[in-house]
Structure 1
Amino acid sequence: MLKRRLLLAAVACMPMIFAATASAQTLSYADAVTKLADDCGKDIQKLCKGLNLGGGRIADCLQQNADKVSPTCKASLATVFQSITQREHAQTAYRQVCQRDMSKSCSGIKGDGFVLACLVKKEPRVSKECNQVITDAGWR
Structure 2
Amino acid sequence: MIKYVVAGMMVLGLASLAQANEGGACAKDRETLCAGVEHGGGKIAKCMKENQDKLSSECKAHMEKAKEAMKDMKEACHDDVEKFCGDVKPGKGRIMKCMKEHKEELSAACKEEIASAKEMRKKRK
After TM superposition, the score normalised by the length of structure 1 is: 0.46
Report deviation, 1:65. Answer: 1.2
- Tell which has more relative contact order, 1 or 2 (C-alpha 8 A, sep 6+): 2
Identity of aligned residues (%): 19
What residue is the counterpart of 1:32 in the other structure?
A: 69
Greater Rg over alpha carbons, structure: 1
CA–CA separation in structure 1 for the residues paired with 2:8 and 2:84: 18
Runs of 4+ in 1 over 6 A off after TM superposition: none
CA–CA separation in structure 1 for the residues paired with 2:121 and 2:103: 21
What residue is the counterpart of 1:6 in the other structure?
A: 9
Structure 1 spans left out of the alignment, 5+ residues: 13-25, 90-140
How many pairs align?
Answer: 75
What residue is the counterpart of 2:97 in the other structure?
A: 60
* 1:33-112 superposed matches below 5 A: 33-86=70-123, 88-89=124-125
Residues 65, 78 of structure 1: CA spacing in aligned structure 2 closer, same or farther, 3 A cutoff? same
State the Cα deviation string for residues 60-116 of structure 1 (Å, max 9, x = none): 111211221111111110101211332x32xxxxxxxxxxxxxxxxxxxxxxxxxxx
Structure 2 spans left out of the alignment, 5+ residues: 17-61
Residues 5, 36 of structure 1: CA spacing in aligned structure 2 closer, same or farther, 3 A cutoff? same
Residues 64, 10 of structure 1: CA spacing in aligned structure 2 closer, same or farther, 3 A cutoff? farther
After TM superposition, the score normalised by the length of structure 2 is: 0.50
* 1:106-121 superposed matches below 5 A: none
Residues 8, 60 of structure 1: CA spacing in aligned structure 2 closer, same or farther, 3 A cutoff? same
CA–CA separation in structure 2 for the residues paired with 1:4 and 1:30: 12
CA–CA separation in structure 1 for the residues paired with 2:122 and 2:11: 13
